[in-house]
Structure 1
Amino acid sequence: MPSTTQLYLDLMKRVLTNTIYEDPPIPASWAPAETYDELNRRLGVDWPTVAHTMVGMRRLENVENCVETVLRDGVPGDLIETGVWRGGTCIFMRAVLAAYGATDRRVWVADSFQGMPPAEASAYEGDRLLATDRYNAFLATDLATVRGNFERYGLLDDQVKFLPGWFKDTLPHAPVPRIAVLRLDSDLYESTMDTLVHLYPKLSPGGFVIIDDYHIPVCRQAVHDWRARHGVSDPIEDIDGLGAFWRRGEGGSAR
């Protein structure tokens, strides 16, 4: 019989992805279905109309495993996601802390809360064009809405901190002292690079970096360019064919 902690977290994953009420997606070239498709939702390849996250079940399970590991191993630091959309993955981070009674860590919610920057390079090419400001009518979720989503789950409290603004402006001075889990969902080269440059030095040894958009060529290139520049060789592990992650070793400051 699963523990009450596991039952709670499993239910949170199903509610956040809305595999319970099965809201239809917004059709896209890479996922043209107009009706709910369980496989697409579980893999996180569709754009839900109602669900609070689009990352899918496998990537939520990865977040769960990473947070549980840093709690179990005593890796110091907070949790942060850069690029949060409706806030679902950050809500799940807060739920994991609540489930394990962890009151000494915070969840940082970093986003422009107005979509993609204008005139930024596209994340895809040709018929797979995705992450540009032309999609902001769907991608932009304001701060009040994200706060309200936390409230719906009873998880908006002093352990949740918001960093509104463009990453190039907010991350260099972000008041985050130390990080245990750093999750990037920022799609683009510049946004990915800004996050790694300014936040990775705060990542504790034994902490995790999660790249939601590793399958996007420009995001992957930013990751590899940054790792090569700083001599980071910790092995990158696949999550679900879309996202990837690595665990920081003991050596190197990446400064």
Structure 2
Amino acid sequence: MRMTNPGPSASPTRLYTDLLIRCIANTIYRDAPQDPWSGSSYSDTVRAEGRDWPSRAHSMIGVKRLENLRWAVETVIREAIPGDLIEAGVWRGGACILMRGLLAAHGEATRQVIVADSFEGLPCPDPTRFPQDTGDTHHQFSELAIPVDEVKEHFAAYGLLDAQVKFLKGWFRDTLPTLRGRRFALVRLDGDMYQSTMESLENLYDRLSPGGFLIVDDYGAIPACKAAVDDFRAARCIAEPLQWVDWTGVWWRRPRDGA
């Protein structure tokens, strides 16, 4: 499954952001996956769905979720939803690179992209506090530990490393509380675990502007992530329906005042 070619009559903004998505997902050079489950060769369908761990691409979330992110960012720009953009759990930085590229393409010079990650992989599970993470093995995958300097190099390769990008290094329980003075138009969560997802929701959702987007990457793929989202929504009486992007990604919008 390849992206639809917009054709030469498309706007420069659309052509640029399409090219960004193709580069970030590496559907151009079609790099082989490095995971043990998706086979040893590249597949357009697998990459579109974000079902592999690419060996070279800057994101593993796939074309469909990148296109959804583009639509959400362009919506908050068009509707003037106030606030910055943040991803909690960034791997090689691809989704954040796309967000920064979209701000540049639309002339948005005041919003920042917050790149939040331990840059050391995922934490060991804490089954005492978060029993839903019992047996979780994400911390054992060295492929998920991408140093912050390497992520910065990826931004620089696209010409998008500047003052509108802020790196927030450390465990979410320590770093996300420091953002309490910020307002966000879009929050994207890719923390895999119950703990990471819940800590992100508890620290970021109240900062999300009315009309802003809350996007979760692993809802359909990881039961612990789904449990955290479901528990948080139930505790907060959030009634907005979840919208599916593909087999795992979901989103909803925070209701506007009076809605």
Task: Tell me the TM-score normalised to structure 1 length.
Answer: 0.92
Give 1:160's match in structure 2, choosing from 158, 165, 173.
Answer: 165
Q: Does 1:63 align with 2:79?
A: no
1: distance between equivalents of 2:109 and 2:156?
18
How does 1:213-228 map onto structure 2 within 5 Å? 213-215=218-220, 216-228=222-234
Structure 1 residue 154: deviation in Å?
Answer: 0.2
How far is the alpha carbon of 1:120 from its aligned partner?
Answer: 4.8
Q: Which runs of 5+ in 2 are unaligned?
A: 1-8
Matched letter for residue 79 of structure 1:
L
User: Where does residue 171 of structure 1 map in the other structure?
Assistant: 176
| Aligned residue in 1 for 2:124 | 118
| Alignment gaps of 5+ in structure 1 | none
Cα distance change of structure 1 residues 251 and 231 upon mapping to structure 2, 3 Å threshold: farther
The reply on whether 1:107 has 2:113 as its aligned counterpart is yes
1:174-198: per-residue Cα shift (whole Å, max 9, x none)? 2651000000000000100000001
TM-score, length of structure 2 as denominator length: 0.91
% identical equivalent positions: 49
SS of residue matched to 1:47: coil
Alignment deviations for residues 61-90 of structure 1 (CA, whole Å, 9 cap, x no partner): 111010000000010000000000000000
The aligned counterpart of 2:96 is: 90
- Counterpart residue number, 1:12: 20
User: SS of the residue aligned with 1:65?
Assistant: helix
Aligned counterparts of 2:213 and 2:170: Cα–Cα separation in 1? 24
* 1:131 CA displacement: 5.2
Question: Aligned residue pairs: how many?
Answer: 246
Cα offset, 1:130, TM superposition: 7.3
Tell me the distance in 1 between the aligned counterparts of 2:27 and 2:152.
22
Which letter does structure 1 place at the counterpart of 2:36? A
**What SS does structure 2 have at the residue aligned with 1:207?**
strand
Deviation of residue 119 (structure 1)?
3.7
RMSD over aligned Cα, in angstroms? 1.8
Which portions of structure 1, spanning 4 or more consecutive aligned residues, are displaced by more than 4 angstroms? Answer: 120-125
Q: Equivalents in 2 of 1:60, 1:50: separation in Å?
A: 16
> Is the CA contact (8 Å cut-off) linking 1:163 and 1:174 kept in structure 2?
no
Letter in 2 for 1:214: Y
2:191 paired with 1:183: no
The 3 A distance-change label for structure 1 pair 223 and 43 is same
| Pairing 1:177-216 to 2, within 5 Å after superposition | 177-215=182-220, 216=222
Residue pair 1:116, 1:131 contacting (<8 A) in 2 also? no
Q: Helix, strand or coil for the counterpart of 2:219?
A: coil
Match of 1:244 in 2: 250
